[in-house]
Amino acid sequence: MFNTSIGLDDINALSRGNMIEHLGIEFTEITAGYIKAKMPVDQRTKQPFGLLHGGASVVLAETLGSIASALAVSDMNLYKGVGVEINANHLKSARGGYVTGICVPLRIGKTLHVYDIKIYDESEHLICASRLTVAILKVD
């Protein structure tokens, strides 16, 4: 499903100079069936009470799904993915270390992709369960 000829260095290079870099998100694994990225739980991603901010979890989830769509289209120069709906259930808090997101496709269609993204803490507790729908559009 995913184009694995594109390396982690190339994917992580896309993160420079935008929110992905600012939050410290780093892609760690790309396979044909899933992709993974990690994000620190630190001053950039915590809310005022010292817990991982739910919005940061959603950013990690949407980042994973967006990159997954880029890796799933036939030609990234001709098609782009844009998120149209995301939901997230915040199931447990995290106070430090890293969280890791794993993105698995539920459906890869010609014009619509749907992903299941689960985020875990370093003890492999499920922190957040998310679903993202991405529309595939022709590049202008």
Give the pLDDT score at 1: 85
The parent domain of residue 45 ranges over 8-138
Query: pLDDT tens digits, residue range 76-91?
Result: 999 999 999 999 999 9
Model confidence at 9, pLDDT cuts 50, 70, 90, reads very high
Segment 106-114 shows an average pLDDT of: 97
CATH number of 41's domain: 3.10.129.10
* 21 catalytic residue (yes or no): no
Q: Judge residue 116's burial from the number of C-beta atoms within 10 Å of its C-beta, 0-12 exposed, 13-18 middle, 19 or more buried.
A: middle
- For 74, residues 6+ apart whose C-beta sits below 8 A from its C-beta are none
**Within-domain flag for 66:** yes
Q: What distance in Å separates the CA atoms of residue 44 and residue 41, rounded to the nearest whole number?
A: 8
Out of 21, 26, 29, 62, the active site residue is: 62
Q: Supply the pTM of this predicted model.
A: 0.96
**Within-domain flag for 1:** no
* Total of domains in the chain: 1
Model confidence at 108, pLDDT cuts 50, 70, 90, reads very high
**Within-domain flag for 2:** no
